[in-house]
Amino acid sequence: MAASVQSHSMIVTTTEHIPGAHVTKTFGQVFGLTVRSRGLGGNIAAGLKTVVGGEIRSYVKLNEDARRQALDRMVENAVAMGANAVSMMRFDSTEMGRTMSEIVAYGTAHLVEWDTAPSGDS
């Protein structure tokens, strides 16, 4: 089953094919990028947390927010190209120095037409 997000008539899926739709045009690669910095206070708290172990919630929130922003930017770029769908969506991340992380969401932008009207059921 495809993991997908539907927003403003845009479907984003991790699969190659979108069930119930056919591609009428492929625009090519589309991406959204963000770079986030971990603050000094967060780094100190995380350092202390590594002593006792457990989840570092401030980093989890930072990464969740970064992924959402990268995904939103990818969708904005796809819409600007004239797409209404992105297939093969993936995330990638890179550490930049000791305090920064780059998160990128990328995929292939398409214009699709529905074979039948989508039911809205997920």
Q: What is the CATH number of the domain that holds 106?
A: 3.30.110.70
What value does the mean pLDDT of the chain take?
83
- Could you list the residue range(s) of the whole structural domain that residue 20 is in? 4-114
Question: Is 122 inside a domain boundary?
Answer: no
Question: Is 120 inside a domain boundary?
Answer: no
pLDDT band at 82 (very low <50, low <70, confident <90, very high): very high
Mean pLDDT (whole number) for 25-31 = 98
Question: Is 78 inside a domain boundary?
Answer: yes
Question: Is 57 inside a domain boundary?
Answer: yes
Q: Are 5 and 70 in contact (CB under 8 A)?
A: no
pTM given for the model: 0.78
Question: Is 119 inside a domain boundary?
Answer: no
On the question of pLDDT at 37 being above 70, the answer is: yes
Question: Is 15 inside a domain boundary?
Answer: yes
Question: Is 83 inside a domain boundary?
Answer: yes
Domain count for the chain, please give it: 1
